């Protein structure tokens, strides 16, 4: 059970003072009856709430896949740049957070949700959740470079990076799968083998793969099966 005004604020209907006014004007109904009291207790999972005749559907947790474009920052607020939340036009973004971050110039898969437990599990170093990136590099990887990347390189931390997986696609194009999330990690790993990232795009995160139908800047809600797999999948790694 929760207060009606709290529920409507979470649905981005308005502020508490605005909702109080909406109730007085008879714009809100609970189970078909006009509700004049904004502090009325409701069951958000069972009661039917309408605002101006439109039924509101409550979702405790919300999950969105975004194809992050370059030039957008992975933040909820920024005074200078457009944020990933700014791209989620037309949806309830209240309490949404990105699961991890992508650099401003990096493209690709980003998960946004208000499910804090899932974010924690996906980002926890103990979980070893795989992240796969498509890379265009300045130089071709030689066998020694691949061996180094796959066994751990020095990026200036106390320990070497954990083992990674390299999949060659072309002369200077490849996929790199890691299961850490250190600051600028992929770029630093390439620098460690005397190379440089020219273009970087995240293709997958755990069991979630970027929808090829999403253009940069587009998003969609996750499907039930995708949510289930994110929560249940056991990541055994590739070591």
- Domains along the chain? 2-56 (3.10.290.10), 62-125+211-239 (3.30.70.580), 130-205 (3.30.70.1560)
**pLDDT tens, residue by residue, 166-205:** 999 999 999 999 999 899 999 999 999 999 999 999 999 9
Q: pLDDT value at position 236?
A: 43
Return the DSSP state at 183.
T
pLDDT at 231 over 50: yes
CB-CB neighbours of 218 under 10 Å: 13
Closest CA to 44 of 56, 26, 27, 28: 56
Q: Residue 91: is it exposed, middle or buried by C-beta count within 10 angstroms (0-12/13-18/19+)?
A: middle
Pairing of strands 107-113, 197-205: parallel
Query: Following CA atoms 89, 92, 98, 103 in sequence, which dihedral angle do they give, to the nearest 10 degrees?
Result: 20
pLDDT band at 105 (very low <50, low <70, confident <90, very high): very high
Under DSSP, is residue 149 helix (H, G, I), strand (E, B) or coil?
A: helix
DSSP 64-119: EEEEEPTT-BSSS--SSS-BTGGG-TTS--TT-EESS---TT-EEEEEEES-HHHH
Closest CA to 92 of 166, 8, 183: 8
pLDDT at 80 over 60: yes
Q: pLDDT value at position 233?
A: 59
Angle (nearest 5°) at CA 102 between 62 and 65: 30
The Cα–Cα gap between 103 and 74 comes to: 7
Of the candidates 47, 78, 103, 211, the residue annotated as catalytic is 103
The Cα–Cα gap between 53 and 84 comes to: 31
The Cα–Cα gap between 111 and 98 comes to: 6
SS3 content of the chain, % helix, strand, coil (to 5): 25, 25, 50
pLDDT band at 221 (very low <50, low <70, confident <90, very high): very high
Both tokens of 56, joined, read 């509101």
| DSSP H or E run through 147 | helix 143-151
pLDDT at 126 over 90: no
Residue 216 CA to its chain's centroid (Å): 14
Q: What is the pTM of this model?
A: 0.80
Is residue 103 flagged as an active site residue? yes
């Amino acid at each position: 059970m929760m207060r009606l005004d709290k529920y409507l604020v979470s649905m981005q209907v308005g502020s508490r003072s605005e909702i109080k006014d909406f109730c007085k004007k008879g714009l809100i109904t609970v189970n078909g009856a006009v509700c004049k009291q904004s502090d009325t207790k409701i069951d958000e999972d069972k009661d039917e709430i309408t605002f101006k005749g439109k039924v509101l559907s409550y979702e405790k947790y919300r999950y969105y896949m975004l194809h992050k474009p370059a030039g957008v920052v992975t933040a909820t607020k920024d005074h200078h740049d457009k944020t990933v939340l700014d791209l989620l036009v037309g949806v309830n973004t209240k309490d949404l957070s990105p699961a991890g971050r992508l650099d401003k110039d990096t493209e690709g898969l980003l998960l946004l949700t208000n499910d804090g437990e899932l974010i924690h599990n996906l980002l926890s170093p103990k979980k070893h959740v795989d992240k796969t990136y498509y890379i265009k590099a300045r130089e071709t990887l030689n066998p020694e470079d691949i061996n180094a990347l796959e066994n751990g390189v020095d990026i200036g931390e106390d320990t070497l990076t954990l083992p990674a997986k390299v999949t060659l696609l072309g002369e200077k194009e490849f996929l790199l799968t890691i299961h850490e999330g250190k600051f600028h990690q992929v770029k630093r790993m390439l620098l460690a083998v005397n190379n440089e990232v020219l273009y970087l795009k995240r293709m997958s995160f755990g069991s979630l793969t970027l929808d090829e139908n999403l253009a940069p800047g587009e998003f969609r809600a996750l499907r039930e099966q995708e949510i289930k797999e994110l929560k249940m999948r056991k990541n055994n790694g590739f070591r």
